[in-house]
Amino acid sequence: MCVSVDGEAEVVLTAPLSFEAENESDSNYKAPHILKRILSLFASIRPGSDLTHIQLPPSFNLPKSQLQCYGESIYSVGFDMLGKCSNEETPLGRFVSVVSWSISTLRPLAFGVVPYNPILGETHHVSTRTLNVLLEQVAHHPPVTALHATDEKAGIELICCHHAVPKFYGAYIDTEVHGRRELKLHSRNETYTMNSPNLVIRLLPVPRVDWDGNVVIKCKETGLEAELRYRGNTFLPRPSVHRSVKGRIFRSSTSETICEINGHWDKTVKMTDVSTRKTTIIYDAAKAISKLKTPVLKDPKAVLPSESTVVWAEVSKAILQKRWEDAREAKTQIEERQRQSARARKMRNEKWNPKFFNLSHSDDNRIGWECSPIHPIVSPAPIIIDD
């Protein structure tokens, strides 16, 4: 969907990533012979190479920025899962809800296309219900994305800092997602910290995209912890392994297992109480990440020039219309403007500072960069998910 802002700039809003997306018109934009093009692209790249700054032609791009994809995992959901985290009465009930919400942030990704690499200072601001979400690209070398979301009514705050490092290993690309998420339930005085699994793009023998790796969720105040293991197919398809998640919830002090977790993040995930052996469904993908609504523009005058859907509007519009040469030219112009801005700052000996976040580096290599919001509350956004 294209919307004009002040008669000049445009906002291009596309459907969020979901299980139905491949059947919707917004997702019907792939260039032909995609696997052949990918293998040709990586023919001269050595295994182990960092792909962070590889510039892809638009035929390999989704019509949206990585900022939007990060944001969608928070604001595009079938029901208020964050609110449920705060509303549960018991510490275990809240912890299980946080685990369920964490699973919901994984979205199905199509093989052969990736979002745009955000430019420095790019932002994305969307509201849904009483939750306001703001993202900013706070660094470009390396690329670091910060997210801040607040729901004053529910007493919820979410702070995330992501630094993705994709590396090429011949038959697959492994993207390590450094950083952490911090979910604060202010009404309960509880803070939950967690990491993200890796994203693996397999080229051979069967092209596919998988989430793979270990996720640890901790809450110091309740003394509870979870270990989750996400798996995808390694060589040949195996339904029992594909998109599976398995783990446990336990007490941090004694490592005593309270609940076992098992299922598939694209279907259902069940929890079994080890003392009673009672099993319940804690996550249903059909309810959480299906039939997701496309954001709409509510207040054109409040849209920032740095907004993702404005910055990449011309490129996205051309991709959706399969005008590949126009998309290439528009993308080149954006990237060249970014290089010019970097050269100008260097000549002036000027340091770039994020507008909405403070950025620092952690001594913990597993975390890497850390971000803290400058403002305590995220304001309502001009782009919304309309209920």
Task: Taking residues 71-82, report their average pLDDT.
Answer: 94
pLDDT grade, residue 26 (50/70/90)?
very low
pLDDT for 207 equals 80
Show Cβ contacts of residue 361 under 8 Å, excluding neighbours closer than 6 positions: 368, 369, 370
pLDDT at 345 over 60: yes
Percent of all residues in the chain with a pLDDT value above 70, rounded to a whole number:
86
Q: What is the mean pLDDT of residues 164-191?
A: 90
Contact, 183 vs 195, CB < 8 A? no
**Per-residue pLDDT, 198:** 93
pLDDT of the residue at 357: 96
53 C-beta neighbours (distance < 10 Å), count: 10
Mean residue pLDDT across the chain: 88
- Within 10 angstroms of residue 366's Cβ, the number of other Cβ atoms is 11
The per-residue pLDDT for 146 is: 97
> Is residue 288 pLDDT above 70, yes or no?
yes
Instruction: Note the pLDDT tens digit of each residue in 36-51.
Output: 666 666 666 677 766 6
Say what the pLDDT of residue 22 is: 43
Instruction: Tell whether the model's pLDDT for residue 29 goes beyond 90.
Output: no
| C-alpha to C-alpha distance for 75 and 236, rounded to whole angstroms | 34
Assign 28 a pLDDT band (cuts: 50, 70, 90).
Answer: low
pLDDT-derived band of residue 5, with 50, 70 and 90 as boundaries? Answer: low
For the segment 84-109, what is each residue's pLDDT rounded down to a tens digit?
999 999 999 999 999 999 999 999 88
Name the band, by pLDDT with cuts 50, 70 and 90, for residue 27: very low
Average pLDDT value for residue range 202-213 = 85
What is the DSSP annotation of 179-196?
A: EEEEEEETTTTEEEEE--
Q: Residue 369's pLDDT is what?
A: 79
Q: pLDDT grade, residue 53 (50/70/90)?
A: low
Q: Given this model, what pLDDT does residue 124 score?
A: 98
- Per-residue confidence (pLDDT) for residue 312, from 0 to 100: 96
